[in-house]
Amino acid sequence: MTDTTRLPQALQQRIEQLAQQAPAGPILSPEQTAALKSDIKALLKEKNAQLVAHYYVDAELQALAEETGGVVADSLEMANFGAKSDADILVVCGVRFMGETAKLLSPGKKVLMPTLEATCSLDLSCPPDAFRAFIDEHPDHTVVVYANTSAEVKALADWTVTSGNALHIVRHLKAQGERIIWAPDRHLGHWIEKETGVDMLVWQGHCVVHDEFMAYELEKLRAEHPEAKVLVHPESPENVIALADVVGSTRVLIEAVRTLPDRQFIVATDYGIFYKMQQVAPDKELIVAPTSSRERQCSSCAHCPWMAMNSLVNLKRVLETEDQEIVIDPELRERAVQPIERMLAFSREQGLVK
């Protein structure tokens, strides 16, 4: 295993600053919520628009997506759903790379987001120019990037992957004797490398949410709940993954809660996912994995600051104004869509999506 050098300190500081400054949606009364939901439903119908929501956004938004014929899903199924939808407008409730992926796959549709400011620390940690230089230093490698990257970075890649298909795709590449450049999440990269034994150069990005889960505190919590199963998203640190009963993408973790006979689960991922977990298994108990200790306070505290920027208020506004639109240069699109289409074709072939 070879790591690239650490991210420049200035970039790291900027990412932390942006995460801290991300404004969460407003707290609404039940009356305000009901009025907004009704207005949004009317606007979706009028404009033939569909909501494509991630498991980490507010429960209200997830419920609304389900009630209006949209989808609530992991990033892989969001991409798949958007590509197959016959709506005129897709409104992506999630973070920027998810909106960009939808637009890359559906250039003929209008793709809106409640706010284009909702970004992702992994996307921010991989500036295209620095990444291009890194690729140039390491020819003869297959470039595999996580979906959590900009269109510019995808345009430099051979494959895009998500946590829902990364293991399958990297195993396939290893079988062909490929050596890999992996970006940007270092924890997911190391986990994939360990599971597959592939020769991999790993970019040093991290997720501001998953990086905060703490192994020592998790062990203590598990000792207090010996019956609980530990579920971990692979963007978490290696010593946290080592404590997991199940490691996997958001969809895999939801399936674990639904299908395992256990009654209690400690969950190391964004707690926005509890809406769906509770829906599929209402009688099970979910506990957030620890992100703080006596020595260290959490800053994102198991909830993505950028996912939290999506709200009923800015969703209604964008449906009225259509001003938060994803626009991608056609020449860039031509290159950036290729690794995503390769990923989707492979995932459909393997039965990972329909």
Which residues contact ligand SF4 by CB under 6 A?
Answer: 95, 120-122, 148, 207-209, 235, 270, 304, 306-307
SS3 label, residue 49: strand
Q: In the complex with ligand 13P, which residue's Cβ is closer, 36 or 144?
A: 144
Nearest-Å Rg of the Cα atoms of the chain is 20
By the rule CB under 6 A, 101 interacts with ligand 13P: no
User: From the list ligand 13P, ligand SF4, none, which binds 80 (C-beta under 5 to 8 Å, kind-based)?
Assistant: none
How buried is residue 27: exposed, middle or buried, by Cβ count under 10 Å (0-12/13-18/19+)? exposed
Q: For ligand SF4, give the closer residue by CB, 77 or 235.
A: 235
Partner from ligand SF4, ligand 13P, none contacting 74, C-beta within 5 to 8 A by type: ligand 13P
* C-alpha neighbours within 13 Å on the C-beta side of residue 190: 16
The alpha carbon of residue 277 and the mean position of all alpha carbons in its chain are separated, in whole angstroms, by: 17
Closer residue to ligand SF4, CB minimum distance, 141 or 233: 233
Amino acid at 295: E
Structure tokens at 39: 């207005």
| Structure tokens that stand for 152 in this block | 């510019």
The H or E element that residue 145 is part of is: strand 142-146
Strand partners, 266: 230, 287
Question: Residue 313 carries which side chain, given as an amino acid letter?
Answer: V
291 binds ligand 13P (CB under 6 A): no
Q: Are 249 and 74 in contact (CB under 8 A)?
A: yes
CB nearer to ligand SF4: give 100 or 235.
235
Q: Which does 163 bind (CB under 5 to 8 A by kind): ligand SF4, ligand 13P, none?
A: ligand 13P
The residue range among 44-52, 162-170, 318-326, 341-349 that interacts with ligand 13P, by the rule CB under 6 A, is 162-170
- Residue 121 site contact among ligand 13P, ligand SF4, none (CB < 5 to 8 Å, cut-off depends on kind): ligand SF4
Give the span between the Cα atoms of 74 and 99, in whole angstroms: 13
Binding letters toward ligand 13P, positions 116-155, x by CB under 6 A: --------------------------------x-------
Q: Does 74 bind ligand 13P (CB under 6 A)?
A: yes
From the list ligand 13P, ligand SF4, none, partner contacted by residue 306 (C-beta under 5 to 8 A by kind): ligand SF4
DSSP annotation of 299 reads S
Q: State which residue, 56 or 131, has the beta carbon closest to ligand 13P.
A: 56
Dist CA 109 CA 106 (whole Å)? 6
Residues that bind ligand 13P (CB under 6 A): 74-76, 148, 162-164, 207, 235, 249-250
